[in-house]
A and B are shown apart, each in its own frame.
Chain A
Amino acid sequence: MRQESMRQEGEKGRGTLYRRRRKRGEMLLLAAVYGAAYFSMFLLLGIIGYIFSRGFRILSIRFLTSVTSAWRGTVGIGGSLVNTLYVIVLTLAVAVPVGVGAAVYLNEYAEPGILVRSIEFATETLAGIPSVIFGLFGMVLFVDVLGMGYSLLSGAATLALMVLPLIVRNTQRALRTVPEGYRDGALGLGAPKWHLIRTILLPSAMPGILSGLVLAVGRIIGESAALLFTAGSARLLPRLGKGFLGNLSALSRKASESGGTLAVELYLQMQNGEFEAAFGIGCVLILLALVLNMLVRLAGAAGREG
């Protein structure tokens, strides 16, 4: 139908010189609109295709599990992978409870007023602060003032502040979509507020919370500037101790040691001109981004069904 109307327009346009000229301008604009859209699509395909074509052949079990060492002559990202995992887990362990709690307060407890407005303004501001600034702040507060040193823990604390707005915003949005009838029903049956939140609101908002969480993971994996200043760039694997308890203490000690995530490692390799390894890491990062994107879609679909 759209095409038909376009054809009719075209026939009309053939009438006068003025119309024809106007038509040409419109065709140019239309071409620009389509061109812009195709540009961003081909840009993405080009980026992904190029990274894969350069980096895919470097990927191997050995590359993923070993550690780069000039002494042994190995190139690998095992340590960076473990560091990334640490930062993700530590960051989410802080950011998710705090973010969900803040969203619950804003949506369920708070009376609209200056406090709510200033907290929402603070969240917006936090979302707009560039990661370099977070890095500088983390370097001063966590590394120096609180004495946590260049460690995965300092990095995670910094990133927790950075992803907080993502989690708050997604949880708030999810809470808003819970039908008002659920609240009225539960309160009408005499359920106290926290009981209502815990047993009804949070479970119904779960898909939204999860998609916020996945977005946060994506942000953490891609982050480099803030981590470079707070978590440093070491790439060692955790040295395991003896027995279960020994392992446990070794693994927890690792959190207070310096460590660079995949993105930081990519930056350092690129800086040293080691493009082979850099493209290999880029490949891993893009694969992770694709998987996370799929997870967000799944969470979104679950939210629409639920």
Chain B
Amino acid sequence: MEYRKRKAAGEAAAQMLCTFCAAIALLAVASITVYMLKSGIPAIRQVGLKEILFGTQWRPTAREPRFGILYVILTSIVGTSLASLMGIPLGILTAVFLAEAAGRGMAGPVRCAVELLAGIPSVIYGLLGIYLLNPWMYRLERRLFAGSGTHQFTGGANLLSAALVLAVMMLPTVINISEASIRAVKPSVREASLALGASRVQTWFLAVLPAAAPGIATAVVLGVGRAIGEAMAITLVSGGSVNFPLPFHSVRFLTTAIVGEMGYAQGLHRQALFTIGLVLFAFILLLNLWLTGILKNSAQGTGAGRTERAGRAAWIGKERSARQRRA
């Protein structure tokens, strides 16, 4: 009896412990939100929301400091969009290759390469960016702006370089999730398209990809999230002065502003950096909400999950009735 009681107590304790562990994730997100708000808001109060978000001058250490981060926000948006323009098509095409086109011989090495690309630390992308990409970019820049008297030369550390690095860094995310969602498309879609006389390529792009659209949208959103949050790879590659985001301008992203200045920032400057962090956090939360919306939409209505389940149920029912008939 005593033994049994102890055993039951152990059971209850284990369940409590597991519940507590699960609650930690919830607690973490809640406290991150609270602390980001708490440390980001003071600067907004002091400087004014409009001045911070829409001001174009960032002079935190001047005698009359200005804390406008409009260009920093725009840089993050434009830089991520540029990276997406390059990275997303490349990623989706690679996913099509892995899921549809590749024979057994080629899919393995390519998939292995994608996995390894995902495992390479972001500082290494930064190292290659500053050591290889920037000099190339500088050569291009010198050729393009040879006669220009107004262009400020950046030595190759500019928005375009950073966008290229980001495009490479978002590749693995886009490829992996797109491939999984292409693979999840029912074979009947493929078969129907081929049976109607479409060629292989037409089937991939006109039948399979549209059917995988929700999954690919997920891949895009997660890839964009990865690019907008990346810091260390582009801190040195992007130049670092606050400028309007044009491809050959030296620019500062939301993330690189934080990394670049946190080391020496004090007082209001430091609080303003936390405000930048808060803006970044808001961007990420928006992306997440958007993602939940996509997933919810795809789960309802014409979603693959539901139709598949319905189809399978119907098929099982048919089997059963056929078996009964035979019996």
**A: which residues have CB within 8 A of B?**
2, 5-6, 9, 26, 29-30, 32-41, 43-45, 47-48, 50-51, 97-102, 104-106, 108-110, 118-119, 121-126, 128-137, 139-141, 161, 164-165, 168, 192-195, 197-198, 218, 221-225, 228-229, 263, 266-267, 270-271, 275, 278-279, 282, 285-286, 289-290, 292-293, 296
Contact = CB atoms under 8 A, between A and B. Distances in A.
A126 B7 contact: no
Nearest to B27: A122
B113 A122 contact: no
Nearest to B26: A122
Chain A CB count within 10 A is highest, among B19, B235, B236, for B19
B145 interface: no
B28 A164 contact: yes
Contact of B93 (A5, A36, A275): A36
B277 A133 contact: yes
Q: Give the interface size bracket for B toward A.
A: 35 or more
Interface stretch (B98-106, B150-158, B313-321): B98-106
Given A32-B93, A192-B11, A26 B199 contact: yes
A164 B32 CA distance: 14
B18 A105 contact: yes
Contacts of B258: 132, 135-136
Nearest to B128: A47
B24 to A, nearest CB: 5
A125 B29 contact: yes
B22 interface: yes
A37 B98 contact: yes
B231 interface: yes
9 contacts: A47-B117, A99-B21, A105-B18, A128-B229, A129-B284, A132-B258, A168-B25, A198-B14, A224-B123
B123 A222 contact: yes
A194 B285 CA distance: 36
Given A29-B205, A37-B98, A133-B32, A289 B121 contact: yes
Contact of A222 (B29, B121, B131, B262): B121
Q: Which 7 A-B pairs have the closest CB atoms?
A: A130-B229, A101-B21, A222-B121, A36-B93, A37-B97, A105-B18, A194-B14
Contacts of A106: 22
B35 interface: yes
B94 A141 contact: no
A136 B274 CA distance: 7
Interface of B: 7-8, 10-11, 14-15, 17-26, 28-32, 35-36, 38-39, 89-91, 93-94, 96-98, 101-103, 106, 109-110, 112-117, 119-124, 126-128, 130-132, 168, 171, 175, 199-202, 204-205, 222, 225, 228-232, 235-236, 255, 258-259, 262, 274, 277, 280-281, 284-285, 287-288, 291-292
B15 A109 contact: yes
Contact of A102 (B24, B121, B292): B24
The secondary-structure label for the interface of chain A is helix
B122 A224 contact: yes
Contacts of B277: 132-133, 136
A109 B19 contact: yes
Given A121-B292, A122-B25, A136-B258, A40 B199 contact: no
A286 B26 contact: no
Given A36-B97, A105-B15, A131-B229, 20 more contacts: A32-B93, A33-B96, A36-B93, A39-B94, A40-B90, A101-B21, A106-B22, A108-B18, A122-B26, A132-B255, A132-B258, A136-B277, A137-B31, A137-B35, A141-B31, A228-B259, A270-B126, A279-B127, A289-B120, A293-B119
Given A122-B26, A131-B231, A193-B11, A105 B21 contact: yes
A8 B90 CA distance: 29
Contacts of B230: 130
A126 B28 contact: yes
Which residue of B117, B205, B232, B277 has the most chain A CB atoms within 10 A of its CB atom? B232
Contacts of B98: 37
A110 B22 contact: yes
A130 B231 contact: yes
Given A33-B101, A132-B229, A282 B124 contact: yes
Nearest to A108: B18
A126 B39 contact: no
A119 B23 contact: yes
A125 B286 CA distance: 11
